[in-house]
Chains A and B, each alone.
Chain A
Amino acid sequence: MAIQLEQVSYTYADNSLWKQTALHEITLGIPKGSLTGIAGATGSGKSTLLQLFNGILKPTQGTVQVLDVTMRAGEKSPKLLPLRRRVGLVFQFPEQQMFEDTVEKDLCFGPLNFGMSPEEAKERARKAMLEMGLDLGLLTRNPFRLSGGQMRKAAIASVLAMDPEIVVLDEPTATLDPVSRAELISQLERLCREQGRTIIIVTHRMDELLPYADRWILLKDGKIAFQGSGGELAADPDILARCGLGVPHSLRYWRGIAGRFGLAGEKPRLTPESLAELIASLPGAGTSGRPEEEGGCP
């Protein structure tokens, strides 16, 4: 396991009148090298949970184990600096953290801070750019002169430059256009599949991540409402409604077709292409459709 939480609670402003418990007795495990999606309604504790993953927040109850570091509530935690390099946290709107006058300087800031030599930092920066599918020519550009999608990717690259084993991203696709969004998700999937990094993505657009995520964690009011594979989630989508989330179209259509033909046990087909392919292979679908009417697509 890359990350293991045992009975973890987190209370903001504990010991004060204003204390507020954001997470209640969370127990979860995230396997090494997996791609995990975390979803939940606004205010369900998603962002709080992420901050436990590299020790920005420490549990007020229970035990958090990340890689080989264990943080117990009430105990003095071990040195967290090395852990923070190994667990890269990408916050909401990460591009707003960029501050240098070139992309290269911005990407080198982290590695230099963790004690790498300038040459090594520059090498890391180049590698991270390529990992995010960015052109090396952008390194000399001012980060504020990039397009929204490029800026977001460069900001994520600045976290990758520290070569983290675990990358945690909070709503990485918010405000990106759908094409940039799909590109970013596939870059992140590649980081996971080809380099064996553990990727954790918080999203409320489950549609875009459903075809790729190995595992899902759903939060409701600071508690775990579901933990399991996309297939298990597809088998019981009502859980989404109970968490205050909508059931994505892809899941609804898959459920409809799978239910009709007894395919519920199979690997869900969650993209329009793969579902259309399945439908085309089912008996009768090619012949009995109505002729195209005005409402159809060209």
Chain B
Amino acid sequence: MSEAYQNVEDAEEVQAVIKLEGVSFGYDPEHPILHNISLSIPRGQWVSIVGPNGCGKSTLVKLMNALLPKSGGEITICGHQLGEETIGAIRQCIGMVFQNPDNQFIGATVEEDILFGLEGLCLSYAEMEERLRAYTVKLGIEDLLSKHPGELSGGQKQRVAIASILAMKPGIVIFDEASSMLDEASRDELLRILQGMRAEGQYTILMITHDADEILASDRVLALHGGGLAADTTPQKLFRNIELLEKCHLLEPYPWRLARELQSRGIRVDVPASEKELIDTLWPYN
């Protein structure tokens, strides 16, 4: 290995906030749920984790902050090698928004729930007030502060859960299908918030999702299948790889599917950006 190459690798090592080497998980060594997974994620990257239901996506992210115990391999988060002494430090680096928001409510009101996490960080009152205000505005939940989480609709709960995690400003934010119950307007809003976070370059975002728009918004796609990493690719390449899409139980975005259907009928078109572009392309002269 040349010295220059070695240096590049070292540089990557320093920048990688998440590093997994040969990580496995399973109760029965004969049938591991995840087997020998190695990956490295640099700071500031937005990564989609995709794959069919039950392929181990949630398990993989839960290994990273030791919500589940790995059965083999090494995990390094923000420079801390995962072990009994480092769990606390690692959990401070990672904020996790779960699939079902009911699984993470603690407070008697939305306000208390958001403050609970901030109190744990030993912030000053002024700082807590400021973050509470900033993130409730960002997620559009100012009106809900005095409500009990049980009074909220599914989508409102998800927005509260997201606000309470983001307010803690963790370096790594993991969303486990956290937009599954949001309507399209709230989902677009969440994507906008995430794009803002990416622009700041401080946040590393991991998003477990099946949603084509969310995948397209990210930088990189990790596809899990059969307990292993089936692909490490970009969203654009993923949606052009029909075989991989089928393997991951994913569908292309509607315009991509329409373009493919048209191509299979002998009509040569690119993926249109809008319905107007499609019509202008197909019938340019009238």
Contacts and interface: CB of A to CB of B under 8 A. Distances in A.
B100 A296 contact: no
Contacts of B54: 146-150
Contacts of B267: 276, 279-280, 285-286, 289
Given A276-B265, A286-B266, A288-B282, A256 B276 contact: yes
A176 B210 contact: yes
B123 interface: no
Interface in B132-158: 151-156, 158
B249 A297 contact: no
Contacts of B52: 147, 149, 177, 179-180
B258 A288 contact: no
A202 to B, nearest CB: 10
Contact of B154 (A92, A178, A295): A92
A257 interface: yes
Interface string A268-280: 0000110111011
B11 to A, nearest CB: 32
A245 B271 contact: no
Contact of B269 (A42, A44, A257, A289): A289
A244 B259 contact: no
A293 interface: yes
Interface string B48-65: 000111100000000000
B181 A171 contact: yes
A174 B181 CA distance: 6
Given A256-B276, A289-B282, A295-B270, A93 B258 contact: no
B283 A178 contact: no
A12 interface: yes
Contacts of B285: 288
Contacts of A280: 262, 265-267
A96 interface: yes
A117 interface: no
Interface in A251-298: 252-253, 255-257, 260, 272-273, 275-277, 279-280, 284-286, 288-293, 295-298
B contact residues, range:
35 or more
Contacts of A255: 275
Contacts of B254: 207, 248-250, 253, 272
Interface string B206-241: 000010000000000000000000000000000010
B120 interface: no
A248 B248 CA distance: 23
A72 interface: no
A188 to B, nearest CB: 17
Contact of A290 (B100, B158, B257, B269): B269
Interface stretch (B2-10, B78-86, B182-190, B194-202): B182-190
A148 B54 CA distance: 6
A296 B269 contact: yes
Given A47-B153, A252-B275, A296-B263, A175 B180 contact: yes
A42 B160 CA distance: 12
Given A42-B156, A245-B183, A284 B271 contact: no
Interface in B149-178: 151-156, 158-159, 177
B58 to A, nearest CB: 9
A279 B262 contact: yes
A43 interface: yes
B278 A256 contact: yes
Interface in A18-70: 20, 40-44, 46-47
A83 to B, nearest CB: 25
A249 B253 contact: yes
B209 to A, nearest CB: 10
Given A177-B52, A178-B251, A297-B256, 16 more contacts: A12-B151, A42-B153, A177-B53, A179-B52, A204-B184, A246-B183, A249-B253, A253-B275, A253-B278, A260-B279, A272-B254, A276-B261, A280-B262, A284-B286, A288-B284, A290-B281
Interface of A: 12, 20, 40-44, 46-47, 92-93, 96, 146-150, 170-171, 174-182, 204, 207, 244-246, 248-250, 252-253, 255-257, 260, 272-273, 275-277, 279-280, 284-286, 288-293, 295-298
- The 4 A-B pairs at the shortest CB distance, nearest first, are namely A42-B155, A147-B54, A256-B275, A246-B184
14 contacts: A42-B181, A92-B181, A176-B210, A178-B250, A179-B250, A180-B52, A248-B254, A260-B279, A279-B265, A279-B282, A280-B267, A284-B286, A290-B268, A293-B270
